[in-house]
Amino acid sequence: MAKVEGPLFSLEARGKIGNVMVHFPWKGRNVVRKWLKPTNPRDVDQKIIRQKLAVFGKNLVQITTPSTAAPNGSILVQGIKRLTPAAQIWNAYFTKKGMEYVANDSDFTNLLSLGYACTSVDSQIWKCCGLELELDTILSTADAYATDIEPGLMLYMAAYAAYAMGLTDATNSYSVHPCNWNTAEISQFATDFTSLT
């Protein structure tokens, strides 16, 4: 970024000249920079990334629903805050840990196509618990997302984040990969989304 004095034979210049440069004031100075075409890619890769992040956004909305009875949040929120390293934001840390599992597109595709119950637990249990938490299906659209993600998978991805963080409290431990959870553990995790104690 160049500093300029009296740009374009004036005391101040603002705006774009052709598709070459942009003049604007910045911190009290007149500056010029190269014009960059704004982009908002809508290719499949970008849609998949947006979709993955949307899953964690919807999960965070459910675990942080305001309540006068729980000023510090649900059991899950309290556990996440306790485990978040200093100088990091707890919800970003939760999302980061969950994204580790689906960062690889082939892992994400496997979750979508093959299901996510690695053991004898039926994936319908995940779906029922996700629906009880009112997690809405993320529908594919022409502009935003590449495929549909149903509530059970959304809950499963949050469970993986809890597992990756090593989340534990006095009564619950998520030290086992969620694909090996039994029905009671899945239900307990869903309860921890909104439970206060």
Per the domain annotation, does 114 fall within a domain? yes
Domain count, the chain: 2
pTM (2 d.p.): 0.74
Same domain for 20 and 105, yes or no, is: no
Give the domain range for residue 164: 44-194
Same domain for 63 and 6, yes or no, is: no
Q: Among candidates 115, 25, 49, which has minimal Cα distance to 1?
A: 25
pLDDT tens digits for range 62-99: 887 655 556 677 788 888 888 999 989 999 999 999 99
Per the domain annotation, does 156 fall within a domain? yes
Same domain for 91 and 26, yes or no, is: no
Same domain for 26 and 119, yes or no, is: no
Q: With a cut of 60, say whether residue 124 has pLDDT above it.
A: yes
Per the domain annotation, does 165 fall within a domain? yes
pLDDT tens digits for range 18-53: 888 888 888 888 888 888 887 777 777 787 888 888
Same domain for 25 and 108, yes or no, is: no
Same domain for 53 and 144, yes or no, is: yes
Same domain for 104 and 173, yes or no, is: yes
Per the domain annotation, does 15 fall within a domain? yes
Per the domain annotation, does 39 fall within a domain? no
Same domain for 123 and 150, yes or no, is: yes
126-130: Cβ within 8 A, 24+ apart? 126/152, 126/153, 126/155, 126/156, 126/186, 127/151, 127/152, 128/152, 129/155, 129/186, 129/187, 129/189, 129/190, 130/154, 130/155, 130/190
Same domain for 8 and 84, yes or no, is: no
Same domain for 92 and 13, yes or no, is: no
